[in-house]
Every structure is written in C-alpha cells, then in structure tokens.
Amino acid sequence: MATTDLSHYDKASIPNAKDLRFGIVVSEWNSNITENLFLGAQQTLLDNGALPENIKRINVPGSFELVYGCKHLLKKGGFDALIAIGSVIQGETKHFDFVCEAVSQGIKDLNIQYDTPTIFCVLTDNTM
C-alpha cells in the first residue's frame, strides 16, 4: 500500500542513469495501454540520464509471455535493470486470474533467481 504521494517526490535525489543499461519487455496485447506505459518509462529513463542506446526494448505477444522475455534478456546479461510492461483486463472468465498470478509469480521468481532487478509494471484492471 502506498503511504505517500508524488508531492514528496524529489527528482534531484535520483542517481544519474548515464552508465546504466535497461531492458524493457512490452506486451503487445492491449497495446493502446502498454505502448503509453513504455513511452512513459522510456522518457523517465532518458530524463534521468539514460542514453537511448542503453535502452533495449523487446516485444512479447501478451502479459503471460513477459516472464519469458525478461528471462531471455537476463540470460543474455549486461543489463542493470529490466522493466516488464503489460496490461491485463478482467473479462468474464478466470483467464484474468491465471494470467495475473502467473506473471506476478514469474517476475518474483526472476528477482529471486537473478541479481538484476526486474520491475513489475503490469496493470491488472477490472475495466478499460
């Protein structure tokens, strides 16, 4: 649970990312959402000094495949952090629950298995 809001956010306290490499794995499903999340993440990295050539993006078909895409980049190595971007929207079946559980557990497992942090940026919403 969040205990503060962005009014306390101090951008000057963020270290410069000039020498860091980032991998961003983006789900193509719900691309109207995930593309904007990617653009926001990319711009935030650039605003904090990351170089465009140090940001590697790969796409995967859906949120379920985010773990596979992240593991692929982790095995290649050379990244300081990964960001997994996806969007899962509740439907009328249990598919939502299965995908959300698998992705959250998978990202957790990657964070335990590898020394490179994988950031969970998956929206799990009831509606558009």
Please check the confidence at residue 14 and state whether its pLDDT lies above 80: yes
**Alpha helix positions (H), 24-79:** 31-47, 66-76
- Letter string b/e over residues 26-36, b meaning 16 or more CB atoms within 10 A of that residue's CB: bbebbeebbee
- Residue 95 is a catalytic residue: yes
CB of 24 closer than 8 Å to CB of 55: yes
Catalytic residue among 18, 40, 78, 95: 95
Q: What is the pLDDT of residues 96-124, one digit of tens each?
A: 999 999 999 999 999 999 999 999 999 99
User: 3 falls in which pLDDT band (50, 70, 90)?
Assistant: low
pTM recorded for the entire structure: 0.91
Structure tokens at 82: 């990964």
**What is the reported pLDDT for 10?**
81
| Domains of the chain: residue spans and CATH | 25-125 (3.40.50.960)
Flag whether pLDDT at 13 surpasses 90.
Answer: no
